[in-house]
C-alpha cells in the first residue's frame, strides 16, 4: 500500500531532533540519549509527571505536526516494551504493599497506549487512536495500520514508535551474554498521507515475509539502491550484491529502531551529493529498511523518491 511522508522527527543518541540524523551523525555519537528542550513542546506541569518514553514520544510527535489545528485522521504508535519505568514502579509498589490496595496512578501511566493518548490530548484529536505492541515489528504494524487509515480517510495520520531504556535491561543483557553498551532508546514519528503534494518521500511498500526465500525473491524484484537492516542476519547473508548498512550502529539496539531507519532512509534519498558509510548517494533513489526479528519473520519497508 502506497503512502507519502510529509514530515518526520527523531530523538535518539544521535543529535537529530533539530537538524536531522545525517547532521547528527556527522557531529558524533553519544552513549546517552540526546534530549531536546521538552519545555518548548510540553508544559512544565505535565513534564514532571511524564516518564522518558512519554516525553520523547509526545515531543517527537508534536514536532511532526507544525499546524496543531490540522485535522488528523488518527494517531498510531508502535512500542515493543511500552512504559518500562512506570511498569517497574508499579510492580515494585505491588511487592512492597504485599498485594494490599495501592494508588492506581503508576499502573495508569504504565500502559502501552500512554503516548498515543497523551498526543491526542495535546493535539485535541478525537479521531482514531491506536497502539500496536508486537515486539520488534511494532513499528511496522503501526505503519501498516496508518497507511490503511490514510487511504480510507484521505487525511493525514501521525504514526511513530518509541522505547525507553532502564537499568533492568542491562542486567538482562548480562545474563544473555549481550553487550549492554549497544542498548539504546528513542522515538521517531512521521506525518503521512495518501497525497503526494508537499511530500518528502514515498512509502512504496510495508510488508511482512515468513521466510528468507520469499523475502529474497521480493527484494530481488524491488531492486533497492541501498538496504538498511536491523537485528539478526546481515543482509549480506541473503543478497551480497546489494549495498547495505547496519542501522543499529547509528541508533543502538531497541525494539522499534526500524522507525529510526525509515527517517534515515528519507534523509539519504533526499541527499544527492557525498557519501554515507562509503556509499555514493548520487544514485540512491530507493531504500529498503529490513527488520529481521526474533520470530524468524522479516519485515520490509521501501522508501523512494517521489
Interval 155-193: pLDDT, tens: 999 999 999 987 777 677 666 566 666 788 999 999 999
Same domain, yes or no: 54 and 146: yes
Q: How far is CA 12 from CA 58, 146, 183, 242, 266, in A?
A: 14, 23, 11, 27, 16
Q: What is the pLDDT of residue 176?
A: 56
Average pLDDT, the chain: 87
Same domain, yes or no: 40 and 96: yes
Interval 130-155: pLDDT, tens: 999 988 889 999 999 999 999 999 99
The count of structural domains within the chain is: 2
Interval 17-45: pLDDT, tens: 998 999 888 877 777 899 999 999 998 88
Same domain, yes or no: 19 and 157: yes
Same domain, yes or no: 58 and 187: yes
Same domain, yes or no: 211 and 170: no
Interval 247-288: pLDDT, tens: 888 888 888 999 999 999 999 999 878 888 888 888 899 999
Same domain, yes or no: 127 and 84: yes
Asked whether 29 and 13 are in contact (CB, 8 A), the reply is: yes
Same domain, yes or no: 7 and 127: yes
* CA separation for the pair 297, 162 (Å, rounded): 21
Same domain, yes or no: 50 and 167: yes
Interval 193-206: pLDDT, tens: 999 999 999 999 89
pLDDT band for 216, please (50, 70, 90 cuts).
Answer: confident
> Would you call 296 helix, strand, or coil by DSSP?
coil
With a pLDDT cut of 70, the percent of the chain lying above it is 92
For residue 21, what are the domain limits?
A: 3-199
Amino acid at each position: 500500500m502506497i503512502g507519502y511522508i510529509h514530515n518526520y522527527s527523531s530523538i535518539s543518541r544521535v543529535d537529530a531532533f533539530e537538524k536531522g540524523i545525517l547532521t547528527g551523525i556527522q557531529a558524533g555519537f553519544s552513549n546517552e540519549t540526546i534530549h531536546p528542550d521538552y519545555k518548548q513542546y510540553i508544559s512544565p506541569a505535565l513534564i514532571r509527571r511524564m516518564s522518558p518514553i512519554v516525553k520523547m514520544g509526545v515531543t517527537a510527535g508534536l514536532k511532526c505536526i507544525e499546524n496543531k489545528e490540522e485535522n488528523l485522521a488518527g494517531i498510531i504508535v508502535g512500542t515493543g516494551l511500552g512504559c518500562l519505568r512506570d511498569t517497574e514502579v508499579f510492580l515494585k509498589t505491588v511487592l512492597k504493599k504485599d498485594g494490599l490496595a495501592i494508588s492506581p496512578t503508576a499502573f495508569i501511566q504504565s500502559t502501552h497506549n500512554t503516548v498515543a493518548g497523551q498526543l491526542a490530548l495535546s493535539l485535541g484529536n478525537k479521531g482514531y487512536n491506536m497502539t500496536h505492541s508486537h515486539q520488534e515489528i511494532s513499528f511496522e504494524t503501526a505503519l501498516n495500520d496508518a497507511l490503511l487509515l490514510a487511504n480510507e480517510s484521505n487525511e493525514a495520520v501521525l504514526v511513530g514508535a518509541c522505547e525507553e531504556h532502564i537499568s533492568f535491561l542491562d542486567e538482562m543483557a548480562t545474563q544473555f551474554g549481550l553487550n549492554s553498551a549497544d542498548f539504546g532508546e528513542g522515538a521517531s514519528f512521521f506525518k503521512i498521507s495518501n497525497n503526494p503534494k508537499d511530500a518528502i518521500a514515498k512509502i512504496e511498500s510495508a510488508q511482512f515475509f515468513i521466510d528468507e526465500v520469499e523475502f529474497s525473491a521480493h527484494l530481488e524484484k524491488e531492486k533497492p539502491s541501498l538496504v538498511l537492516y536491523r537485528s539478526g542476519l546481515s543482509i549480506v547473508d541473503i543478497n551480497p550484491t546489494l549495498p547495505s548498512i547496519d542501522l543499529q550502529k547509528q541508533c543502538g539496539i531497541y525494539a522499534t529502531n526500524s522507525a529510526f531507519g525509515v527517517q534515515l532512509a528519507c534523509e539519504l534519498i533526499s541527499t544527492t551529493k557525498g557519501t554515507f558509510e562509503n556509499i555514493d548517494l548520487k544514485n540512491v533513489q530507493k531504500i529498503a529498511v529490513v527488520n529481521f526479528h526474533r520470530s524468524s519473520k522479516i519485515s520490509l519497508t521501501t522508501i523512494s523518491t517521489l
